[in-house]
């Protein structure tokens, strides 16, 4: 892969929106989808960034993503919204659901959305951050295709099942966003591309034997984070989301990594009202106490989750985002009709 190039974020946004619009996404939806991809890019999370845009568009072309719907929903109870995403774009369906449950939680105290038939949500951190900036707590869960092996097992049977938690604090909310896998399959591919060895314990090969060969790990499984506990947690999220959304489980999950299959994983959002606004200050004070506590290594201060991402975002807004030139070329081709032919050939 060639060296990355620096693109001004507003330019990336406009080109991405143009590409989505060409694929039939209405302007508002195109902005929501690009917002998720660009905000990931701004925070240095390239795996959830512009790299994913061509697949979003391929999925629309292949009829497994619907560019115009925000899904349908009904209240299964006063506080529980059941959403059929109808194969809409992940962020479009997600924001529509979040809007409804955030309003509802103001009277019910908490409200949740159980979403099925929705495409990839993108970086969960953004949902957590925005809900928390508005003064509410968010817990977000989503599942994925089976990539993680059970602790003591040999086969990929569990999704990477990330969790996000947003809690109001000042000046910025606390935002946790982490997969329950030790590494991502994207990292495995990066290591393979660079011909670099994995760390022992990170992955298994196709036979289920431990491997440090990234190429072999691509057809195998990645480890849960934190050993038996991380396995237990990722599994708990898989079936919790399954039970609430009636989504597919384990190896039956499709459509989060490919361009041709319907996406049948589930998403769960829970929005909760804090006890009082006063708690925002208590949480802030506590987080600041952590940041200023004595570090193990003098020059490496204790970090609170989300801090680094926001620093990176500030830097990217000033200096632009770093994008692989092939990715940028693809997106420009998708945005510019004259380049459609090249764009398509690169997509397959």
Within residues 181-220, the interface with a copy of itself by CB under 8 A covers 208
Residue 87 near residue 63 (C-beta atoms within 8 A)? no
112 lies in the binding site for a copy of itself (CB under 8 A): yes
| Torsion sign, CA atoms 194, 198, 203, 204 | positive
Tokens 């090969």, located at residue: 205
235 lies in the binding site for a copy of itself (CB under 8 A): yes
| Candidate ranges 30-38, 64-72, 302-310, 314-322; the one touching a copy of itself (CB under 8 A) | 302-310
- In the complex, least distance from residue 64 CB atom to a copy of itself, rounded to whole angstroms: 22
Residue from 1, 68, 103, 289 in contact with a copy of itself (CB under 8 A): 289
Q: Which two tokens stand for residue 236?
A: 């708990």
Q: Which two tokens stand for residue 178?
A: 């982490």
Residue 124 near residue 39 (C-beta atoms within 8 A)? no
- In the complex, least distance from residue 157 CB atom to a copy of itself, rounded to whole angstroms: 6
The length of the chain is 348
Number of residues that bind a copy of itself (CB under 8 A): 80
288 lies in the binding site for a copy of itself (CB under 8 A): no
Distance CA 274, CA 167 (A): 9
Q: Which two tokens stand for residue 124?
A: 């969960």
State how far Cα 47 lies from the chain centre.
9
242 lies in the binding site for a copy of itself (CB under 8 A): yes
Distance CA 274, CA 280 (A): 8
- In the complex, least distance from residue 17 CB atom to a copy of itself, rounded to whole angstroms: 33
Residue 344 near residue 33 (C-beta atoms within 8 A)? no
- In the complex, least distance from residue 107 CB atom to a copy of itself, rounded to whole angstroms: 6
Residue 202 in 3-state DSSP? coil
- In the complex, least distance from residue 16 CB atom to a copy of itself, rounded to whole angstroms: 30
- In the complex, least distance from residue 65 CB atom to a copy of itself, rounded to whole angstroms: 23
Distance CA 6, CA 208 (A): 40
Q: Are strands 203-204 and 80-88 parallel, antiparallel or unpaired?
A: unpaired
Of the two residues 127 and 237, which places its CB atom closer to a copy of itself in the complex?
237
319 lies in the binding site for a copy of itself (CB under 8 A): no
Helix 340-347, helix 53-61: angle, nearest 10: 90
DSSP 63: T
295 lies in the binding site for a copy of itself (CB under 8 A): yes
Using CB under 8 A, which residues numbered 147 to 176 contact a copy of itself?
150-155, 157, 163, 165, 167-169, 174, 176
- In the complex, least distance from residue 340 CB atom to a copy of itself, rounded to whole angstroms: 42
| Candidate ranges 18-26, 34-42, 87-95, 276-284; the one touching a copy of itself (CB under 8 A) | 276-284
DSSP 2: P
- In the complex, least distance from residue 314 CB atom to a copy of itself, rounded to whole angstroms: 21
Residue from 105, 140, 216, 263 in contact with a copy of itself (CB under 8 A): 105
324 lies in the binding site for a copy of itself (CB under 8 A): no
Residue 195 in 3-state DSSP? coil
Residue from 139, 323, 327, 331 in contact with a copy of itself (CB under 8 A): 139
Using CB under 8 A, which residues numbered 23 to 82 contact a copy of itself?
75-80, 82
């Amino acid at each position: 892969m060639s060296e990355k190039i620096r693109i001004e974020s507003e330019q990336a946004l406009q080109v991405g929106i143009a590409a989505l619009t060409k694929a039939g996404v209405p302007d508002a939806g195109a902005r929501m989808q690009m917002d998720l991809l660009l905000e990931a890019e701004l925070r240095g999370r390239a795996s959830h960034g512009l790299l994913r845009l061509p697949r979003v568009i391929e999925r629309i072309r292949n009829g497994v993503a619907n560019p115009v719907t925000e899904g349908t929903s009904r209240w299964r109870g006063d506080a529980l919204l059941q959403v059929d995403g109808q194969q809409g774009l992940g962020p479009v369906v997600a924001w529509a659901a979040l809007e409804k449950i955030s309003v509802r939680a103001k009277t019910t105290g908490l409200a949740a959305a159980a979403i099925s038939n929705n495409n990839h949500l993108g970086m969960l951190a953004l949902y957590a951050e925005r809900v928390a900036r508005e003064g509410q707590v968010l817990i977000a869960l989503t599942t994925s295709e089976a990539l993680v092996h059970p602790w003591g097992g040999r086969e990929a049977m569990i999704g990477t099942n990330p969790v996000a938690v947003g809690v109001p604090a000042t000046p910025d909310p606390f935002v946790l966003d982490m997969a329950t896998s030790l590494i991502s399959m994207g990292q495995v591919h990066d290591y393979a591309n660079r011909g670099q060895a994995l760390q022992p314990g990170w992955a298994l090969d196709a036979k289920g034997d431990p491997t440090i060969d990234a190429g072999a790990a691509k057809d195998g499984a990645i480890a849960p984070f934190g050993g038996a506990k991380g396995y237990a947690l990722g599994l708990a999220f898989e079936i919790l989301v399954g039970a609430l959304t009636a989504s597919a489980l384990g190896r039956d999950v499709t459509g989060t990594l490919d361009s041709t299959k319907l996406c049948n994983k589930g998403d769960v959002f829970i929005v909760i009202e804090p006890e009082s606004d006063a708690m925002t200050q208590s949480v802030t004070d506590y987080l600041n106490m952590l940041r200023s506590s004595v570090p193990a290594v003098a020059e490496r201060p204790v970090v609170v989750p989300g801090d680094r991402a926001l620093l990176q975002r500030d830097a990217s807004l000033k200096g632009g985002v770093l994008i692989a030139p092939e990715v940028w070329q693809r997106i420009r081709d998708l945005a510019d009709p004259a380049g459609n032919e090249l764009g398509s050939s690169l997509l397959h």
